A and B are shown apart, each in its own frame.
Chain A
């Protein structure tokens, strides 16, 4: 597992460094913008897109076939991608928190305003969108799942924009919820959804390779 994570980490940091940079820019913009939540959400969606790019690359370089000759289970490849998605989400949220607090200390940017809700929304959106894109890619192959990926991004970004523009009271309502309910809604339920997607991915990937 460590080796697989190292592989994808190296590729992201050496060959596709523009993608993490774009995520960083979105998170940076979200610190200063009035609609900071939207930009941080967009950042997390871009982060999840990075994983799909890596899946594409694996397919074109026949990495999955090569892995069949290594002491690895096919489910190890699925597990690694889901763990990588969680790492990307965690790092993105951590970066946002550091930026917001860092600038907030000097009274610059959005500071602590809605920080908790924003972070939990990022985690929720990140887990749901990456789970859907990863599952479709494992079931149908990265090429065929590109449309699904676009649909997920458009729908989720659209939903976020709609909430921010037309139902800002929803965010206020979220802020008023107790932390336990917030954590349950934002993290526990999405993690359950991710586990379901993981299970479907493991089964579907095995079937697709054997077909």
Chain B
């Protein structure tokens, strides 16, 4: 079963359209949403949560087409949105008391253990927390009711590399249960590269691709060569080019690379940046 299934989802605003998005996140997997600012990542997440109604298409979250009005389903979803929404005047401990009354499956012992593990002070008011600690508090709250699906919007931004690493380990541990899945958007592509099984690229509201990370890395290679040499490659196989004084770097479909031409594995960041640049040229 898919934890999230989206078919031809379209949502329009005055100056932006999330256009015809079709993706699926199978249970037990982590999907990374990659896109520049304004690409539509948050819009997609808010549409999935029913915060903003969609114009056309359909979606299911944990098998439900309208999660917002289904309390048991919302009980199985943990969400972290960009920007702290916890009650600013309450302490972290008091927030846990509030949420324990809202979530039927709230686990106070687990909450306390995560706070201890991640060194989050429980007696501080939320407005006194640093951005990093605020994000920690939100992530801990999202995990403490044992959700089946985590939806994270820029959840690791603002955290130092050590804490980010701890969270990524926590997310990996979370998806060890085959029924647990994560949809996470981030600007920090290296985090997604480390944690995700599936990668989805969004650009200006359009879906560029949605593939398994390993397949993606296997499909494309980086080529560093003089500009003239690039001409030997079928142009339709060249996804994006970055030119500099020493020649050119290009992301190319692996099958189209001529024999003998040196190529390197492409990391996700390069792949995304060059893909977007390729799209812009079109």
Q: Which residues of A contact B (CB under 8 A)?
A: 1-4, 6-7, 10-11, 14-15, 57-58, 60-63, 65-73, 209-210
Contact = CB atoms under 8 A, between A and B. Distances in A.
B81 A210 contact: no
Given A66-B81, A71-B74, A15 B101 contact: no
Interface string B54-74: 000000000000001101101
Contacts of A7: 87, 90, 94, 98
B81 A61 contact: no
A73 B69 contact: yes
Nearest to A68: B51
A72 B77 CA distance: 12
B22 interface: no
Nearest to A70: B102
B52 A210 contact: yes
B86 interface: yes
Contacts of B89: 10-11, 14-15, 57, 61
B210 interface: no
Contact of B98 (A3, A15, A71): A3
Nearest to B94: A10
A61 B85 contact: yes
A2 B86 contact: no
B7 interface: no
A51 B52 CA distance: 27
B98 A4 contact: yes
Given A70-B74, A71-B102, A10 B85 contact: no
Nearest 7 interchain pairs by C-beta: A66-B85, A3-B101, A69-B79, A71-B74, A61-B88, A15-B89, A62-B85
A71 B103 contact: yes
Contacts of A3: 97-102
Nearest to A58: B87
Given A3-B102, A62-B83, A11 B90 contact: yes
Nearest to B126: A61
Contacts of A11: 87, 89-90
A66 B81 CA distance: 8
Interface in B247-281: none
A9 to B, nearest CB: 10
B75 interface: yes
